[in-house]
Structure 1
Amino acid sequence: MTCIEAGADAVGCVFYPPSPRCVTEDQALEIVKALPAPAWVVGVFVNEDYSEIMGKAERCRLRAVQLHGREAPLLIDRLRRRGLKVIKALFHNGFPPLSAAASYDASAYLVECAGGPLPGGNAMIWDWSAANSLARTVPIVLAGGLNAENVS
């Protein structure tokens, strides 16, 4: 759990089979059990339906989910009503765009570039200042190509 020791508040468990970082429910539950309080696990989903997300959230004891596809605002509302924190991915060069934040009532927004073979930023470095105006109005998480050199 090096990331938690380094100061991270949460770790992500990807539940998207095409991703090389995809984990099983058993692996996610092992991670949840190993984390010290108050750290928590975020389940990462792409275009999953409500019952699939809630099933994994309950079985894996997730406190939050990150939605990285073309999910409808209604899905976010339903998940939040069940007590989950919901992080909705928005994209500088993709769909849904950063300007779509007003359409969702997410707990926070993950913002990244988009592009590449998988949903998300695919570790692409981009002009993070493009998210400045959004960051003034809602909680955001920057993503995409972040490393020790460009974060400092």
Structure 2
Amino acid sequence: MVQAGADAIGLVFYSPSPRSVTVEQAQQLLTHIPPYVQTVGLFVNASPEEILAVLQNVALDVLQLHGDESPEMCQQIAQLTKRRWYKAIQVKPDLNLINEIQRYQHAGASAILLDAWHPDLKGGTGLQFDWSQFPKLDIPLILAGGLNPDNIAEAITLTQPFAVDVSGGVEAKKGIKDQRLIKKFMQGVHCGSAKRSD
């Protein structure tokens, strides 16, 4: 991903995920990350102490909180870890999305990641939500959910996000990234970004 031009790399600290990494694996992976590329740690319903234990061994720049963490819990995590954070929100059909985003914005989120909703899974579903629901607000919004090399240019053109987040859409199989798909995806990112700035 880095060689293809990614600005940030995500490390999943959630053991049920097929993409999860151990602290030792994360330490090894970070030796390959160049300067100026952000390292993001993804956590799902982890306690502040569990996150702090990871941070004592893994140099993460940003925390992505991808579970059912309340705004108050996110604030507690931020105060203890001294890290910037953003909240992943699953776009449920009946959710007041703008109100939900603002709850976390007021709690200090640096950004909000909008993902497809699934009743059981916390991200990595390969599903996408209705991009017409993507709001325009005064906080950076990250688009996730069902993105792949074939739809990323259209997704960026329609939603004009601050950033995009991809995982399954560039995998040969679950947890195994495909360099060819990554390169094609990044070409689509550049194409969509160019259209947005026209």
Q: Aligning the two structures, in what range does the TM-score lie when normalised by the shorter sequence? A: 0.7 to 0.9
User: Is the Cα–Cα contact under 8 Å of residues 13 and 41 in structure 2 kept in the other structure?
Assistant: yes
- 2:125 is matched with 122
Q: Which amino acid aligns with 1:142?
A: L
**Which structure 1 residue ranges, 5 or more long, are not aligned?**
none
Query: Number of matched residues?
Result: 148
The SS at the match of 1:71 is coil
RMSD: 2.0
- 2:20 is matched with 22
Aligned mates of 1:145, 1:123 — CA distance in 2 = 4
User: Is the Cα–Cα contact under 8 Å of residues 19 and 118 in structure 1 kept in the other structure?
Assistant: no
The SS at the match of 1:59 is coil
1:27-81 deviation per Cα after TM superposition (whole angstroms, max 9, x unaligned): 1111112100011221111101101011112211111111011112223223334
Deviation for aligned residue 1:18: 0.8
- 2:176 is matched with none
Q: Which amino acid aligns with 1:55?
A: A
Moved more, 119-128 or 73-82: 73-82
Percent identity between matched residues is: 36
**Which structure 2 residue ranges, 5 or more long, are not aligned?**
154-198
Q: Which amino acid aligns with 1:89?
A: A
Deviation for aligned residue 1:114: 1.1
Deviation for aligned residue 1:116: 5.5
The SS at the match of 2:64 is strand
Q: Which amino acid aligns with 1:87?
A: Y
Q: Which amino acid aligns with 2:145?
A: G
- 1:53 is matched with 51
Alignment of 1:1-152 (within 5 A): 3-81=1-79, 82-93=81-92, 98=97, 99-104=99-104, 105-115=108-118, 117-120=120-123, 122-133=125-136, 136-152=137-153
TM-score, normalising length: structure 2: 0.68
Deviation for aligned residue 1:149: 1.3
